[in-house]
Amino acid sequence: MIWLKLVNWSLSAGVDTPANRMDNETVEVRLAGDIPEGYQWELLISHEEYLDVIHLDADGDEYRTLLTAEQLAFDGDYEMQLRAFSDYLVKHSTKTVVRIGETISGDEQWPEVPTVFSQMLDRAEEALAAAAEMRGAGYATFDVDTDTGDLIMTYPDDYYGPDFRLTDDGDLEVIPNGSN
């Protein structure tokens, strides 16, 4: 486990169990400390020229996430920094470094799209599935064309619900009671 401690926007790290390259969903990152209220939290991680953004889930007074093999594609030093946001407010912590150990196996593969975007799509799909179950209808699914970055929606024949489109500015537009 990787412990991140935030005190007065200064970030430090500690490691209970060593994290190694290509570990998959066995390395938990936990954020504790002096965590200001009213913010959503993201973990920025970078290794050399690569950057990933990961949404942190609230867990009582702490925030956490599990790292995947894709996020731990390389061994060596990973810089970590917190980004907090609320409406138009954005605040960054200081950076800290965590060492990721070597392994013999695995391909070096960094996420094609930032993890926070994939997490957002997963949460949206879960919400649509839950709403569809309440209505007894099928539900729409999201995917991203990694070549173009386009959002792709798939609607079943019995879908009745909002329509989703990406605007030219890259915003997600929700059209109530839309049709496919």
What digits encode the pLDDT tens for the residues 42-77? Answer: 999 999 999 999 999 999 999 999 999 889 988 999
pLDDT score recorded for residue 134: 55
Per-residue pLDDT tens over the stretch 119-131 = 888 888 887 777 6
Partners of residue 165 on adjacent β-strands? 173
29 neighbors 17 (Cβ within 8 angstroms): no
**What is the share, in percent, of the chain residues with pLDDT greater than 70?**
77
Residue 132 β-bridge partners: none
Q: Report the half-sphere exposure of 9 (CA within 13 A, side-chain side).
A: 8
Contacts of 72 (CB under 8 A, 6+ apart): 19, 20, 21, 22, 23, 24, 27, 100
pTM: 0.63
CA distances from 62 to 34, 89, 97, 117, 154 (A): 10, 21, 20, 22, 36
